[in-house]
Each structure stands twice: as structure tokens, then as C-alpha cells.
Amino acid sequence: MDQRIKNWLFHPWRLRILALGSAASLTILGVLLWSGPLRQWDERSGSAVWSWGGAEKQERRVVVVDIDEKSIQALGSWPWPRERTALLLQRLDQAGVSLKLLDILFDAPRAGDEVLHQALASPIPTVAAELFSLDAGHDRYHSGILAGALPGISCPAASLNAQGYLAPTAGLLSSTALAGHITPILDPDGSIRRVPGLICDQGKSYLSLPLAGAWAALQGEAVPQLQRGRKWTDPDWWLTVGDWRMPLDARGRYRVSYQVPRSGWVAVSAVDVLEGKVPASLLRGAWVLVGATAFGAGDAVPTPQGGAVGGVEVHAQALAALLDDRTPYTPQLASFWPVTAALLVSLGLLGVLAKTRRSAGLVLPLAGGASLFALYGLHGILLLSWHWWLGWVIPALYTVFATALLTGFELMRVRFERERLYHHLSSYLPAAVAQEISRQDPTAQVQAAHREATVLSVDLRNFSAYCEAHPPEESALLLHLFYTTATRVVEEYGGVVEQMVGDGLMAVWNGSELCVEHGRRGLAAAKALWRVLSAQLPMTGDRRSPPIDVGMGLESGMVLMGSFGPAQRRVHTVLGETVSVAAALQAMTGELACPVLVGPQLVNAVHPEGVQSLGQFLLPGLSRPRALYSLTVELDPQRLRLVYDAEERQQATA
């Protein structure tokens, strides 16, 4: 990848925006591909909120009269004779119930219908059950006579169209009797989570059993009204029954709240009611739901509470939620919720990145996990407090993608920055040193190493005078040429340029990188460097500017290499007597008119050819004299002439 593209792409905020945009795209793709599984996971995990927010008190306003196994064993298999069912309703009237809801179908004529008709026509409101078919793939069937059509509401948009029905048999209900449908809507996992509030058949609308029961309890004081939600916090539709209201979605369905645990219901056995064993205080004034849960009754349905329960419990949950105005619904603002949640999660993750300079690979996953818990917690709080069902799986899916991509991109960006930092570092330090420093803990103690090495000190003589007489651009170009050429030659002969300071440099063989026969290689490099620089350096020399020349000093011996200084500001350097001798030899080259001077330890170790002894000298800054040697190199006559002319001018001036 081109370096400019890398620099643009690996900008921190560009990369983070790219990661978040990719997460949004993957989320949209995931919703399109896995809409069904995601919806089911949302339903299951969302329904679990009721397990830790269920009602603590027992629900006593709604009582379930259960035709259970005990009743079947005592009185015979279901369905019972109509006379026995009529007797059960009469016992409930005698106990003082205020409303009876029958989760029982009487769709076929049977003996005893007249007795049951009289029981259903009692002054205490009674709501019978009817069942609609919503499956358009089956033939339409009609059994019995539908009852309880809503006045003034024909077939609104908030209703489902029936394809057939099972209703109470003709003559069983009076003309003023009410009925409510018990039509379930099964999710793909078989659970009942939504129930049609309104079903339309032949231009008339019919309420569900709990809603028809609320209407019957009013005894004609109010007619149910259907209104559109006007505020963003409203559902699509409100169905009001007196002081009660039921939120409906765009298709006229309401969500069943399973907030009351199964242990929270007051359920009595039908046989106990028939035999008068139920305390009158338990039934007096209650709304009673009569249904069959016995094995073989055919009314067992799965719910989010787990296991199969009688359908009567589904209606009991809806009825209790209606009384408390806590039926969960999806507000109209829910369409903005995934985007809003994604923005909040994005801001949170970006804030973590802005505050975290290190360990992003660990902190970001923790932040993503915390975001998931926060989303689920917010979903639960809104559901239990405001009864809003917003869903949390789609924002959670975005959170997973955003966290994974941000973490991956951040690790990739950090790696790129480390590589770029290493490349920058290796341009100021030897590659081996830069690599070692990049692996060290910056707070670690200083570590230095001794080496038997050869040190070359090179100086660009008269460069300061050259800078005075020439523009800065020319001086910089000359210095760049010197550094580049010297580095290339030194590295060709196995050495490493350890320092570049001012107009001089220091190269070391067998220092940062191992080098066999470092003395011979250093000498060969000095000769080659003199030859190359003599051809490249400008031939200048006048009264204002002495000629550019090169002086070099070589010595072998022990050196100390390492990085020194405080943790926040260190310097890599080479120390030791060998370094001092090489620098002093380089300083003596001008005085002795020898371009390359060699120290005694290097000569004794290598015994090179072309070396001439100059005698004993006390080098500047050192305490004892040393034997100096001159390395024979090819001298350019023209450059020598310029040097001699400059020296003569200096003597004449003096």
C-alpha cells in the first residue's frame, strides 16, 4: 500500500469512523439476513425481564377457575355435560363474582343447551368465547353465531381479517350477550406473545376475551373507542374501554405481559367450586376466568414463562395488565431507537478510546461488554417502568460489530504507528539499536554492554567557514551529501554509523552489529571513504573560505555501548578510551597534514600495510603519549594545492 494512502487511512479518527461505518453496514446486513432469529432472540431475552421484575403480591382481582386434573378425576372427562357447566356458573354467581369470562367454546349443539342458556343469561356479566381462523390457506368455516360485535367500529386498519370462526351454537346466547375471541398468534418458537385486540369478519369487529370482559364489566356505561396514537410516546393505536386502555400495534395486536409469575395467580379447582369448598371471600367481587388446563383438554400453549400452560393464563395476564395500565407496547419513537442507541454506544466507545492511550485491545472489549449490559438494563427499565418495548438485540448486534472492528482497527493502527515509529527511530539510530529499544520497557533500568570494537571518527573540516560564505541551502546540501556518502560506505564495509553530530560522525565496527575482522574492515572503509569524498566534495578555497577537507581517526579497543539518561529523555552513545583516542586522532589530522591517523592498538592488532609511524604524541585531552600512525591514501594534487595555499595564507596573515 502506498505510504501516502497509509498515512491518510491510518489517521486515528478516520480509521475509527471507518470502523463504525463498517459496523453499521454489517448490522444492516445482519438484520436483512437474520431477521427471524434476531427477532426471536429479542423476544426471548426481553421476556426474561419479567422474571426479575415480576409482581411481588398475589393477584386477587382476577381468579382462575381451573378445570384441572383434580376436577377431571372427580367428575369425569372433559367436555362436561352442559348441565354441569351451568351449575359451575351458578355456583360462581352465588359466590358473588362480578364478572365471568369463559375460555370455553360451545360451538356445537348438545343436550342441556337450554339449561346452559339460562346460566349464561344471569344478571352477572358473562362473556363466552369464540375462535377465529386467521390462516388464509385453509377453507373458510363458520360454526355457531358470532356475538359481541363492536358498535360504530366496522373494520379499522388496526384489525386482522378472519378466514372463518367457531362461535357459540345458535340459541345459546341471548341477543345482548357478549363474546370475546380467544384467537392466539403463535411465534415461530410456538409461544404466545401477541393477541389480536380486534378481528374483523364480514364488516364487523370483535374484541378479544379480556377486552370484551372489560366492556362487559361496564354494563353498557361506555362503548370501546379506537384512536390513533398522537405522540411519539404513544403506540400506533389506543383502544379505550371506559377508564381502561389497551395499546395496539399497527395490525391491531397487543403484547401480552407476563409480569405476574405463575405462582402469583389465585387458581381454584372447578370441583371445589361445585362442592362449595372455596371460601366466599376469595371469589366475592372478583373477575373470574374459567378454563380447562387438564391433560387432554387441548388448551395447553407455551409461553415465555416456560413450559406449557393453559390458555386461560394468557388471558389472565392480559386482563391484569389492562387493569394496571401496564400492557407493554412499542412507541412510535421506536423507529429511532436503533440509530439513537448506536450513536450512544459509538460515543461511549470513542470516549473510551480518547481516554485510553494504552491497552485498547483490553479496554475496548470491556467497554463493549458494559454497553451490552447497559442496553439490556435500559430495555428492562423502560419495560418495567414505562412499559415500552423497544428491543435491544439490534443495538446489541451493532455494539458487537463496533467493538470488534474498533478493537481490530485500533490494534492495526497501533501496529502501523509502532512500525512507523520504529522506521523513524531507525533513521536516527542504528537499526539494531532501534529494534532493541523498541522492545524494551521505557521504565527499565539502563543496560550497557562492553565490546571489542573499531571506532572511526570523521570530521568535515572547514565546514563552519563554508557555511559563512555560502547560502544555507548549499551548506545543507553539502552536509546531506557527506552524511549519505559516509553512511553508505561504512555500511558497505560492515560498520554502523552510531552518531552524527554537527559536521562529524562516528562509525563503529563490531558494536551494534557483529563484525569479524573489524579492524581490517575499518581501515578499508577509511580508505574508500577518503577516495569517495575526495571526488565529491567541492573544490573551493579562497581568502573568505578555506577548502573543504576530511579528517579521520581510527582506533581499536574496548568500548561501552548503551542508552543513558532519564526514562523520558535518553540518548544512545558509545563511550570509552577508544572513542576518545579516535576523536583526538581526527583532531590531529589537520596539524599533522595527514588525512587519516591510526591508533597504536589497531596497528598492533592488525599489522596493516601502508601505515607509517609518526612517533609519540600527547593527544589533546589525554594524559599519556601514544604512537601515531598515518594511513597511506590516494591524495588529489589539486586538493593538496588548495590546502597548501590555505595554510600559506593563514601564515601570512599571522
Model pLDDT for residues 402-417, shown as the tens digit of each residue:
999 998 888 887 776 7
Same domain, 529 and 456: yes
Q: Among 425, 460, 492, where does a domain finish?
A: 425
Same domain, 474 and 593: yes
Same domain, 154 and 180: yes
Q: Among 298, 324, 350, where does a domain finish?
A: 324
Q: Is the pLDDT of residue 64 over 90?
A: yes
Strands 59-67 and 287-292: parallel
Burial 407-432, CB ≥16 within 10 A → b, else e: bebbeebbeeeeeeebeebbeebbbe
Same domain, 622 and 504: yes
Cell of 402: 463496533
Q: Is the pLDDT of residue 542 over 90?
A: no
Same domain, 345 and 449: no
As a whole number of Å, the end-to-end CA separation of the chain is: 62
Structural domain includes residue 20: yes
Distance, C-alpha 510 to centroid of its chain: 50
Structural domain includes residue 364: yes
Structural domain includes residue 435: no
Q: Which residue has the higher pLDDT, 437 or 474?
A: 474
Contact present, 371 and 399 (Cβ < 8 Å): yes
Same domain, 461 and 522: yes
Q: Among 324, 350, 365, where does a domain finish?
A: 324
Contact present, 97 and 286 (Cβ < 8 Å): yes
Structural domain includes residue 330: no
For residue 258, report the phi and psi dihedrals to the nearest 5 degrees. Answer: -105, 40
Same domain, 579 and 531: yes
Structural domain includes residue 430: no
Same domain, 13 and 72: no
Q: How far apart are CA 197 and CA 212, in angstroms?
A: 10
Q: How far apart are CA 167 and CA 62, in angstroms?
A: 24
Which residue, 401, 402, 413, 405, is CA-closest to 357?
Answer: 413
pLDDT at 108: 87
pLDDT at 84: 94
* Element holding 109 (H helix, E strand): none
DSSP conformation class of 571: E
pLDDT at 66: 92
Can you give the CATH number for the domain in which 467 is found?
3.30.70.1230
pLDDT at 436: 59
Structural domain includes residue 433: no
Maximum CA pair distance of the chain?
A: 147
**What's the Cα-to-Cα distance from 556 to each of 97, 228, 603, 604, 633, rounded to whole Å?**
112, 95, 9, 10, 20
What are 37-48's pLDDT values in tens digits? 999 999 888 888
Q: Which residue has the higher pLDDT, 215 or 641?
A: 215
Same domain, 449 and 385: no
Same domain, 403 and 297: no
**Who contacts 71 (Cβ-Cβ below 8 Å, separation ≥6)?**
269, 270, 271, 294
Structural domain includes residue 329: no
Q: How far apart are CA 161 and CA 150, in angstroms?
A: 15
Range of the domain at 500: 441-653
Q: Name beta bridge partners: 225.
A: 240
Average pLDDT, the chain: 85
What are 285-294's pLDDT values in tens digits? 999 999 988 7
Cell of 291: 378454563
Same domain, 586 and 615: yes
* Burial of residue 261 (number of CB atoms within 10 Å: 0-12, 13-18, 19+): middle
Range of lowest pLDDT (61-70, 218-227, 266-275, 396-405): 218-227
Q: Which residue has the higher pLDDT, 172 or 138?
A: 172
Q: Is the pLDDT of residue 514 over 90?
A: no
**Who contacts 378 (Cβ-Cβ below 8 Å, separation ≥6)?**
392
Which residue, 99, 110, 106, 145, is CA-closest to 128?
Answer: 106
pLDDT at 316: 93
Same domain, 455 and 342: no
Q: How far apart are CA 310 and CA 71, in angstroms?
A: 15
What are 549-602's pLDDT values in tens digits? 899 999 999 998 877 766 556 667 788 899 999 999 999 988 888 899 999 999
Q: How far apart are CA 225 and CA 221, in angstroms?
A: 13
What are 199-208's pLDDT values in tens digits? 999 999 999 9
Domain count, the chain: 3
Cis, bond preceding 331 (omega within 30 deg of 0): no
What are 7-44's pLDDT values in tens digits? 555 567 788 888 999 999 999 999 999 999 999 999 88
Structural domain includes residue 649: yes
